[in-house]
A and B are shown apart, each in its own frame.
Chain A
Amino acid sequence: MESSNTIIIKGLYKRFPVGKGEFTALSDINLNFAQGEFTGLIGPSGSGKTTLLNILGSLDVPSAGEALVLGNSIGMLSAREAANLRKVSLGFIFQSYNLLAVHTVYENVEFPLLLLKLSATERHKMVMDALEWVGLTDKIKSKPPQLSGGQCQRVAIARAMVKKPSLVLADEPTANLDAANSHHILKTMETLNRELKTTFVFATHDDKVISYLRRKVFLLDGRIDKDEIIHPNS
């Protein structure tokens, strides 16, 4: 049943121009992700994790093959349609948080909602809910430079989750965090995944992250090396 899949990737290639030639960063990727998966793209540095995540996020386009994200064929979308897909349905979490430094925690989390043109009361409720999920309701007036790394990443998660997107793409979300903070973040995301049925796709080579994943897609030199589904058997 393909229609229940959030993501369908068929024969996807990504090549980058390098000097006079080309570098193939992804070759012949075929993958399906169902709604509500908690999946990781795992592989050594340079294996193509970020490249694939960027394509799924409609920030980049395939060189060949197809990537369907929530029914939208990436690469066929106009700039406006791609922006709309990101605005409505996607959430991004970055390794370096990418918070807006001059805005408060509250304003950072509110930002995606402003683009959606929601009313002030709706926005307020959603922002407070999101901050509740990540446990930062006491920091709404702080600005990112005043927060710890772990707190920053929690703000980033709240920002990615506030509009309850169908798909969250997280590129090395724990790379700048210590073990305790990493576990806290991952537990938060796991809970949100369970409660909101949000699909999570990680790019990582961090063992702490890997231990939380319910599916592991191993990449090596731009190819799928292994696709492991962990069945809950506790």
Chain B
Amino acid sequence: MKLALKLAYRNLMGAGLRTWLNVIVLSFSFVIIIWLKGVMTGWDHQAKTDMTNWEIGGGQYWQSNYDPYDPFTITDSHAPIPDELKKQEETGEIVPMLLLQGTIFPEGRMMPVTIRGVSPTQSFLHLPASKLDTGDGTISAIIGAQMAKHSHLKEGDYVTLRWRDANGTFDATDVLISSVFSTNVPSVDLGQIYIPLSTLQEFALLPDEATIITLKNAEESATDYPGWVYKSKKDLTRQVDEMIKTKSAGQTVIYAILLLLAMLAIFDTQVLSIFRRQKEIGTYVALGYTKQQVVGLFTVEGSMHALLAALLSAAYGMPFLAWQAKVGWTMPIDASEFGMAIAQTLYPVYSFGLVVSTVLIITITTAIVSYLPSRKIAKMNPTDALRGKLQ
């Protein structure tokens, strides 16, 4: 094996430019695959972190009727906050939210919204709820940047807000947009308007009631409150996992194309070198190699492209990947339009396992692609090979 490696190395170096072209193509595959996968991992982390910070905390209790995908359930999704949890509200351990269907009328247009009542004193969600506390009796509201864009509302604007109370009666009032926040989590932004919880409870005639109760810390064992369903952080981020999975599947096509290109180059090189080096093959046999050993020699030689590519990738790829991890990759398009929890700048995250598995997969593929054409050697007649007369 040591001899095979030595021979392979010398032969590759002897082949010069051709070797380096193959190695460069392969090393691109290495770096791009690791980078893309790193971006996906980074996105996964970022999306989950952002969701945790902005929306789901350590987990949530949902009123049992609540279904975020069915706006009609919102009318019936409210219940008094369980007493045990109420105590925790005072210590800032939970954030109850009441959700109500409503309509706003910006510039005379009509826009359906979800009105969310949130306490201005909540402290662990990034939502700037303290801006809801105007202190002078004005009813103020906060909205996200996307919502502001779609409704053409800005800080300081007044907008008419209409809702139906528990009895089904319409009521309306003007609210002041006291703050516009920007977030990467679309579900807390698009179509959402936040007003103080107590105000909404009053408007809706639902004192002390809530739809969602967000916990600061994850529950070790979820308590069963009648009428409430516990949603762990894992349940709530399942969407992110699925999105990443779908995106990764799409990327597999890119990996496949990159690998295919590299493998075609290797395959071509192997076929050509086996054809051109018949005399050399015959000489190896004459010097005492079995044909199987020559097959091995050529396979090692082809596979070594992957090894050289890994080294080359380390040389220029490591600084590149490290730099990317530091400055991040800013998407050329407006990320907020995605409707997904995605930041404008993604910071790739690489794991040891990612690097090792990429190197392994590429090396194994290269070895297989090197081996396939080399099998032809086993069928060669050494006397014909020595004459170099095979077709």
Contact = CB atoms under 8 A, between A and B. Distances in A.
Interface of A: 50, 54, 57, 59-60, 79-80, 83-84, 86-88, 90, 92, 94, 96, 98, 100-103, 107, 111-112, 114-115, 159
B288 A88 contact: yes
Contact of A86 (B288, B292, B381, B383): B288
B290 interface: yes
B184 to A, nearest CB: 56
Nearest to A82: B290
B287 A96 contact: no
Interface stretch (B8-16, B303-311, B367-375): B8-16
A83 B283 contact: no
Nearest to B287: A112
Contacts of B128: none
Nearest to A171: B386
Contact of A98 (B10, B15, B386): B386
Contacts of B279: 96, 98
A130 B382 CA distance: 26
Given A83-B285, A96-B279, A114-B3, A60 B383 contact: yes
A98 B280 contact: yes
A86 B287 contact: yes
B269 to A, nearest CB: 15
A79 B381 CA distance: 12
Nearest to B11: A102
B287 to A, nearest CB: 5
Nearest to B3: A114
B382 A84 contact: no
Contact of A83 (B288, B383, B386): B288
Q: Give 6 closest A-B pairs by Cβ, nearest first.
A: A87-B288, A102-B14, A83-B290, A98-B283, A92-B286, A86-B288
A126 B322 CA distance: 51
Q: Is the interface of A mostly helix, strand, loop or mixed?
A: helix
A126 B205 CA distance: 103
B216 interface: no
B291 interface: yes
Contacts of B289: 83, 87, 115
Query: Residue among B286, B292, B383 with the most chain A CB within 10 A?
Result: B286
Nearest to A104: B10
Contact of A79 (B280, B291, B386): B291
Interface in B1-26: 3, 10-11, 13-15
B290 A98 contact: no
Given A102-B10, A103-B10, A59 B288 contact: no
Contacts of A102: 10-11, 13-15
Contact of A100 (B283, B382, B383): B283
A83 B285 CA distance: 7
A92 B287 contact: yes
Interface string B262-293: 00000000000000000110110111111111
Given A59-B286, A83-B290, A102-B11, 18 more contacts: A60-B381, A79-B291, A79-B292, A80-B290, A84-B288, A86-B286, A86-B288, A90-B286, A96-B279, A98-B283, A100-B280, A100-B283, A101-B14, A102-B10, A102-B15, A112-B288, A114-B3, A159-B287
A103 B282 CA distance: 17
20 contacts: A54-B383, A57-B286, A59-B285, A59-B382, A59-B386, A79-B292, A83-B285, A83-B289, A83-B293, A84-B288, A86-B285, A86-B288, A87-B287, A88-B288, A92-B283, A94-B283, A103-B10, A111-B287, A112-B287, A115-B287
Interface in B346-383: 381-383
Contacts of B283: 92, 94, 98, 100
A62 to B, nearest CB: 13
B386 A94 contact: yes
A90 B288 CA distance: 9
Contacts of A83: 285, 288-290, 293
Nearest to B382: A59
Nearest to B289: A83
A112 B286 CA distance: 10
B285 A115 contact: no
Nearest to A93: B286
A214 to B, nearest CB: 25
A107 B11 CA distance: 13
B276 to A, nearest CB: 11
Contacts of B14: 101-102
A231 to B, nearest CB: 33
A153 B289 CA distance: 22
Contacts of B293: 83
Query: Residue among A50, A79, A83, A112 with the most chain B CB within 10 A?
Result: A83
A185 to B, nearest CB: 19
A9 B120 CA distance: 106
Contacts of A111: 287
A50 B3 CA distance: 31
A115 B293 CA distance: 11
A124 to B, nearest CB: 16
Interface string B297-330: 0000000000000000000000000000000000
A115 B288 contact: yes
Contacts of A103: 10
